[in-house]
């Protein structure tokens, strides 16, 4: 292969990475250990070797805000993540109902988001259009849409009700979303927001 052909091959590889990862892949390694963290807008390639990695998806409100920001900047509205697991385990967990409620309430109160904007893109975001996760697993385990444990859900709601971040009426409604996925979880979140005036 001559020099010009080799440069052309590497140029095409670079263009492929740019199409998939936008402004370039950022790596997150977990080797011979354990790590918990958030699926990040900047770190988009997660590699776990002989270890355990637990990642949490951003809340729907954060996904909608990120999508809005990227759209205004003229960037692709989705984020592609690649998760490689070799002789280990990686779990991507949904946020708790408490986290979902607090982030949505904060975005609405601050004026960053209107209920109309949230509802317009909610279907696309909730069907994983905004955060695409591809995975490669060898001699290991990968779970891409794990619900939070019931105790984490109940504790999150109880603590945030106690400190006043979640009103009683909304807390009772959010309890109905514990253990639910998809449309039922989103409908419960919408009901909880509507249960509190203003």
**Residue 133 belongs to a domain:** yes
**How far is residue 166's CA from residue 193's CA, in Å, rounded to a whole number?**
10
What's the pLDDT at 29?
A: 82
**Residue 173 belongs to a domain:** yes
* Nearest C-alpha neighbor of 99 from the set 65, 41, 60: 60
Give the up-direction half-sphere exposure of residue 129: CA atoms within 13 A in the CB hemisphere: 11
**How far is residue 195's CA from residue 128's CA, in Å, rounded to a whole number?**
27
Host domain of residue 119: 16-194
**Residue 152 belongs to a domain:** yes
**Residue 6 belongs to a domain:** no
Given the structure tokens 């990120």, which residue do they identify?
A: 66
Q: How far is CA 182 from CA 7, 22, 33, 73, 123, in A?
A: 46, 28, 32, 29, 10
Sign of the dihedral through C-alpha 89, 181, 183, 195:
negative
| Structure tokens that stand for 8 in this block | 């052309």
**Residue 93 belongs to a domain:** yes
**Residue 7 belongs to a domain:** no
What's the pLDDT at 37?
A: 84
Q: What is the count of structural domains for the chain?
A: 1
What's the pLDDT at 197?
A: 64
**Residue 8 belongs to a domain:** no
Q: How far is CA 55 from CA 29, 47, 74, 106, 167, in A?
A: 12, 12, 28, 23, 28
**How far is residue 86's CA from residue 19's CA, in Å, rounded to a whole number?**
25
Which pLDDT tens digits describe the chain residue by residue (198 residues)?
666 665 665 555 555 545 554 555 577 788 888 888 888 765 678 889 999 999 998 888 888 888 888 778 887 766 678 889 999 999 999 999 999 999 999 999 999 988 888 777 776 665 544 567 788 889 989 888 889 999 999 999 999 999 999 999 999 999 999 999 888 888 899 899 987 765
């Amino acid at each position: 292969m001559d020099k010009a052909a080799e440069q052309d091959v590497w140029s095409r590889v670079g263009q492929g990475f740019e199409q998939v990862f936008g402004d370039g892949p950022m790596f997150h390694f977990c080797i011979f250990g354990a790590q918990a963290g958030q699926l990040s807008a900047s770190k988009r390639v997660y590699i776990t070797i002989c270890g355990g990695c637990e990642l949490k998806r951003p809340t729907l409100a954060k996904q909608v805000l990120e999508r809005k920001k990227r759209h205004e900047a003229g960037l692709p509205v989705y984020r592609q993540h690649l998760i490689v697991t070799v002789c280990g385990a990686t779990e991507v967990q949904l946020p708790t109902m408490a986290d979902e409620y607090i982030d949505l309430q904060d975005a609405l109160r601050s004026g960053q988001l209107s209920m109309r904007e949230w509802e317009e893109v909610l279907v696309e975001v909730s069907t994983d259009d905004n955060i695409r996760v591809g995975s490669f697993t060898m001699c290991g385990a990968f779970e891409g849409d794990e619900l939070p444990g019931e105790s984490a859900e109940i504790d999150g709601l109880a603590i945030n009700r106690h400190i006043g971040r979640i009103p009683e009426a909304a807390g009772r409604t959010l309890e109905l979303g514990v253990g639910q996925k998809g449309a039922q979880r989103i409908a419960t979140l919408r009901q909880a927001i509507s249960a509190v005036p203003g």
